[in-house]
């Protein structure tokens, strides 16, 4: 196992292990990837204010969400089709989150049934869903989440339509799976990935099918294409009436939508532009976050993801008003090489870096950080 010292290190190793088309699927964004780049660039453009000679001998990086204390301020965002990176990916990431004392959000488009992931990391798994045109799928999802002991439901509100990803189209990496000859040749040169892919558990697609059996790739393709462009806030209210646990609405990028989410019964808002994979004409999450946090004004927790690659980014997000940060790509980079330990290592790196950055701002408790730590 390579022991990375940074997210960048882990990314480099993942790039060596994964076929180009799979790495592109992980890293790519919508269209010209403007929003994807903005997520990272805007975070790195924000500077923190150094303060000296304040007692930072005891650092507290824990955060509190829904009355639960998480040991680290960074959770794992929902990601579909993780089995393409490693067949045991969902369980590996859920276990890493559990070991680090944080949460893993299982995607509705996962390759591993929710109950299996929930059983592998008791109490650490949240479940992401969305509004499918077939209302039976929504009902079934709620039932499955309930049966698996899930307490927190994350509604992806930003998938009513979906965007093109040019990298995937170029590689022929579409759900019809027509990789270009070049992509196939490249995959053949990644023996470890190929070995895992060919010998690991058969890649099926989760537990979403109407008859309860795991989906085939073809069924998953049809399922992912089921967008519900007519979904509205009334659908959130309907879920609110049915779901006894917590509800988080993901994909909030405007203060007005944050207000609508709270009015519809959400217990938290999740500021996210889907890691730049959906709408490529919008700002970074860190630039949208302060106005949203001001509107929410502490009524419910604010979650945020997008572009976090260093611990200082976590401090910045928290200073801008986040109560919990999440990452997508960074933990996958770590997980590709060694499964749970690699992902856990990435969570540790981010937490350790956040602790040092926070100490340099003269603050010892991350929960108390505010905009005064930003350099003007």
Ligand X SMILES: Cc1cc2nc3c(=O)[nH]c(=O)nc-3n(C[C@H](O)[C@H](O)[C@H](O)COP(=O)(O)O)c2cc1C
Shortest distance (Å) from residue 189 CB to ligand X: 22
CA 128 to chain centre: 10
Antiparallel, parallel or unpaired: β 125-129 and 152-156: parallel
- Which alpha helices (H) appear in the chain, and where do they start and end? 7-17, 20-27, 34-45, 89-100, 114-120, 135-147, 166-171, 181-188, 191-199, 217-224, 233-242, 255-263, 285-296, 311-319, 329-338, 340-360
Shortest distance (Å) from residue 265 CB to ligand X: 19
Shortest distance (Å) from residue 87 CB to ligand X: 15
Q: Which residue has the tokens 């959000």?
A: 105
Shortest distance (Å) from residue 158 CB to ligand X: 7
Q: Which two tokens stand for residue 254?
A: 């405007």
Nearer to ligand X, 98 or 310 (CB): 310
Nearer to ligand X, 233 or 360 (CB): 233
Q: Which residue is nearest to ligand X (CB)?
A: 328
Burial of residue 128 (CB within 10 Å: 0-12, 13-18, 19+) is: buried
Nearer to ligand X, 56 or 327 (CB): 327
What does residue 273 show for φ and ψ, rounded to 5 degrees? -110, 30
CA dihedral in degrees (33, 36, 42, 44; nearest 10)? -110
Shortest distance (Å) from residue 246 CB to ligand X: 16
Torsion-angle region of residue 203: left (phi > 0), alpha (psi -120 to 50) or beta?
beta
Show which residues are catalytic: 274
Nearer to ligand X, 134 or 368 (CB): 134
Which residues neighbour 312 within 8 Å (Cβ) at sequence distance 6 or greater? 48, 353, 354, 357
Residues that bind ligand X (CB under 6 A): 26, 39, 77-80, 107, 109, 128, 156, 250, 272, 274-275, 277, 305-308, 327-329
Shortest distance (Å) from residue 153 CB to ligand X: 12
Contact 70, 62 (CB under 8 A): yes
Nearer to ligand X, 321 or 328 (CB): 328
Shortest distance (Å) from residue 50 CB to ligand X: 26
Nearer to ligand X, 26 or 292 (CB): 26
How many residues in total does the chain contain?
A: 376
For the chain, the C-alpha Rg in angstroms (whole number) is: 20
Nearer to ligand X, 307 or 321 (CB): 307
- Say how far apart CA 147 and CA 369 lie, in whole Å: 38
Nearer to ligand X, 307 or 311 (CB): 307
Each residue of 150-161: b (16+ CB within 10 Å) or e? bebbbbbbbbbe
- Say how far apart CA 171 and CA 179 lie, in whole Å: 6
Shortest distance (Å) from residue 76 CB to ligand X: 9
What does residue 83 show for φ and ψ, rounded to 5 degrees? -60, -15
């Amino acid at each position: 196992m390579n022991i990375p010292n940074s997210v960048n290190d882990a990314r480099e190793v993942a790039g060596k292990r994964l076929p180009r088309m799979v790495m592109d699927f992980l890293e790519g964004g919508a269209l010209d990837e403007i929003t994807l780049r903005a997520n990272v660039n805007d975070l790195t453009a924000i500077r923190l204010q150094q303060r000296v000679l304040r007692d930072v001998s005891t650092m507290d990086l824990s955060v509190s969400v829904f009355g639960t204390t998480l040991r680290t301020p960074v959770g794992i965002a929902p990601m579909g089709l993780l089995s393409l990176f490693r067949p045991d990916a969902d369980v590996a990431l859920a276990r890493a989150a559990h070991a680090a004392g944080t949460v893993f959000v299982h995607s509705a488009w996962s390759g591993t049934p929710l109950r299996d992931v929930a059983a592998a990391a008791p109490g650490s798994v949240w479940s992401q869903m969305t509004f499918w045109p077939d209302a039976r799928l929504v009902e079934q999802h709620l039932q499955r989440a309930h049966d698996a002991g899930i307490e927190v439901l994350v509604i992806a509100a930003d998938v009513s339509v979906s965007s093109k990803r040019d990298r995937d189209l170029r590689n022929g990496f579409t759900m019809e799976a027509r990789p270009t000859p070049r992509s196939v040749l490249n995959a053949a040169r990644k023996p470890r990935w190929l070995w895992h892919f060919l010998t690991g558990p058969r890649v099926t697609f989760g537990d979403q099918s109407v008859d309860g059996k795991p989906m085939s790739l073809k069924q998953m393709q049809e399922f992912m294409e089921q967008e519900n462009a007519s979904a509205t806030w009334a659908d959130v209210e309907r879920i609110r009436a049915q779901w006894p646990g917590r509800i988080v609405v993901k994909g909030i990028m405007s203060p007005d939508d944050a207000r609508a989410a709270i009015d519809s019964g959400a217990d938290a808002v999740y500021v996210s532009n889907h890691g730049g994979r959906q709408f490529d004409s919008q700002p970074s999450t860190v630039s949208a976050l302060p106005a949203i946090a001001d509107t929410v004004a502490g009524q419910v927790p604010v979650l945020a993801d997008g572009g976090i690659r260093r611990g200082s980014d976590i401090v910045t997000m928290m200073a801008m008003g986040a109560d919990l940060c999440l990452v997508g790509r960074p933990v996958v980079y770590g997980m590709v090489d060694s499964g749970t330990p690699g992902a856990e290592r990435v969570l540790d790196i981010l937490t350790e870096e956040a602790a040092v950055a926070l100490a340099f701002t003269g603050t010892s408790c991350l929960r108390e950080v505010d905009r005064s730590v930003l350099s003007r």
